[in-house]
Amino acid sequence: MNHNIKIKTSKEYDLVVCGGGFTGVACAYQASLLGLKVAIVESKGNLGGVGTSAYVPILLGGIDYDYKNDKYNFIVGGFFKKMYYDLRRTNACINLYKINRKESPHGWYGGLANSIIFDVEKMKILLDKYLIDNNVDIMYFTNVVDVKLSNNEIDYVLCSNKSGFHALSAKAFADCTGDADVAVLSNCEFKLGREKDHLMAPASLIMVVENVDTKLYIDTIKKDNSPRFKEKIKELRKKGIWKFPYDILISVELNKSKVHILNTIRQVGIDGTDAASITKGMINGRKENEELFNILKEFFPGFENAYISQTAEMIGIRETRRIVGEYVLSMEDLLEGKIFKDTICLSSYYFDLPDPKKPSFQPISDEKYIIKNKYTQIPYRTMIPKQISNLICPGRAISVEREVLGPIRVMGPCVGMGQAAGIASYAMIKDKVSYKNVNIKEILDLLKANECIINNEDIIEVEKI
């Protein structure tokens, strides 16, 4: 065993982005557009995180449908809007204006119908291109394993990959891991799951099923008047056939005809910050998906001749850690319609965070709670951990009460937060201040200049292309 670990020193960066999901990509892209020298560190072999590696190719929370005027609007702009139009030009995502909302195979309910469903492989290539064209250094198959601190600053993040250990030095760091990994390594305060027992929302390992008779599937939904097959599942449970703890079937057709993802299984007791727990989730998830698929083939019209083409390479995690930042966004803020002077993006998604023990139950739902301003406002301060001056933490792990995770944890607002973090990184480096002390007016002005949306007045109609 070699006890003399050699650490390779990298070139100096302005910004190191840890995590290559949509939050991290948006952050790196926006910062590089403003002239920063950026590196992005990703543990998988592609960008896109949950959207690509966990095979949830559904960009939620960035689009809304205006029923009165029969049109779609961008609620998240900038990079999010650019992705949609670039995908549309190559038919790499659904065309929102060609969907029959009354019987859409892409989503029969709530916010899922207001989403950009994209081609996973084409998205991977597109995200690579965005960053390569802007001279971002991409480090795949690389994990952040430690940090070097001096007083209240990060000097470098220590990374590990096949080439050894690397110290990535920078003026600023963005923790876009979704789990606040870098913040935790930096001794920042955080919350894990719900406070009384630290349990977290169920996880889901996605199954991709091909050769589904979508027309028959839709006809059955219309006939039974049950988009999620609740009554059929009740019958199957009484017969001892449906033994799963969840009570609904979620099947979404992708951008390719007859290809569906099954976001049905809800795995309770999974801790996304624990390697053994994630391993168990992957093993049990594959087994459970196979059991579910066999039931679908026999009892659910449309699946008779279908087959499993793959299960995702990564389990989908809805919730883990949340930093305790300069501001904690609360349920009271949403319900009372509090206006923030430092709002950096919006979310159009609703309250969606299943109970840790009852996976089909929503303790917080739109039926009980209404966001007064319609869209969730996300203040800049929620991304700033108190302890470290040159660290920003956009994405699912921002500083919010647990109940607020529902509308902010999905990819649309995560892109918005990533954009804001990239712009804030530029401002703090230029002005030689901490993230906490950046000029918020400058950030808001730059967000608007980059067509990002920070209030209801900025909302942009989606073009009918």
Percentage of residues in the chain having pLDDT higher than 70: 98
What integer pLDDT is reported at residue 99 of this predicted model? 85
How many CB atoms neighbour CB 343 within 10 A?
Answer: 22
CA distance 303 to 297: 5
Sequence-distant (≥ 6) Cβ neighbours of residue 457 within 8 angstroms: none
Residue 119 CB coordination number (10 Å): 20
CA-derived radius of gyration, the chain: 22
For residue 203, give the 3-state DSSP assignment: strand
Label residues 166-197 b or e (16+ Cβ within 10 Å = b).
Answer: bbbbbbbbbbbbbbbbbbbbbebebbbbbeee
Give pLDDT, residue 103: 79
DSSP 14: E
Neighbours of 3 (CB within 10 A): 4
- Helix, strand, coil percent content, the chain, rounded in steps of 5: 30, 20, 45
| C-alpha span between 156 and 393 (Å, rounded) | 16
Strand pairing class (190-192; 321-323):
antiparallel
Q: Which CATH number fits domain 7-194+323-461: 3.50.50.60, 3.60.15.10, 3.30.200.20, 3.60.21.10?
A: 3.50.50.60
Q: Are 188 and 180 in contact (CB under 8 A)?
A: yes
List beta partners, residue 316.
Answer: 204
Q: Average pLDDT for residues 18-31, to the nearest whole number? A: 98
pTM: 0.96
Write out the H or E segment, with its range, that includes residue 298: helix 275-299
DSSP 143-175: EEEEEEEETTEEEEEEEEETTEEEEEEEEEEEE
Nearest to 61 by CA among 50, 53, 69: 50
Q: What is the pLDDT of residues 300-352, one digit of tens each?
A: 999 999 999 999 999 999 999 999 999 999 999 999 999 999 999 999 998 89
Mean pLDDT lowest for which of 55-64, 102-111, 384-393? 102-111
pLDDT band for position 8 (50/70/90)?
A: confident
pLDDT at 1 over 50: no
Count the neighbouring beta carbons within 10 Å of the beta carbon of residue 117: 24
Q: Looking at residue 16, what DSSP letter applies?
A: E
- Quick: pLDDT tens for 352-369: 999 999 999 888 876 678
Token code pair at residue 415: 């892109």
User: How far apart are the C-alpha atoms of 153 and 265, rounded to whole Å?
Assistant: 42
Read off the tokens for 235.
């019958």
Q: Give me the half-sphere count of Cα atoms (radius 13 Å) on the Cβ side of residue 204.
A: 24
Amino acid at 308: I
Per-residue pLDDT tens over the stretch 36-94: 999 999 999 999 999 999 999 999 999 999 989 999 999 999 999 999 999 999 999 99
Please tell me the distance from the alpha carbon of residue 210 to that of residue 261, in angstroms, as a whole number: 9
| Secondary structure (DSSP) of 239-275 | TT---SS-----EEE-SSTT-EEE----BTT--TT-H
Scanning 75-141, the segments in alpha helix (DSSP H) are 79-89, 120-133
Q: Using alpha carbons, select from 85, 71, 73 the residue that is nearest to residue 460.
A: 73
Burial 101-114 (b: 16+ CB within 10 A, else e): eeebbbbbeebbbb
* Residue 3, pLDDT score: 53
Q: Where in the chain are the domains?
A: 7-194+323-461, 207-311
SS3 307: strand
CB 370 within 8 A of CB 335: yes
State mean pLDDT over 217-233: 88
Q: For 180-198, how does the pLDDT look when each residue is reduced to its tens digit (9 = 90+)?
A: 999 999 999 999 999 999 9
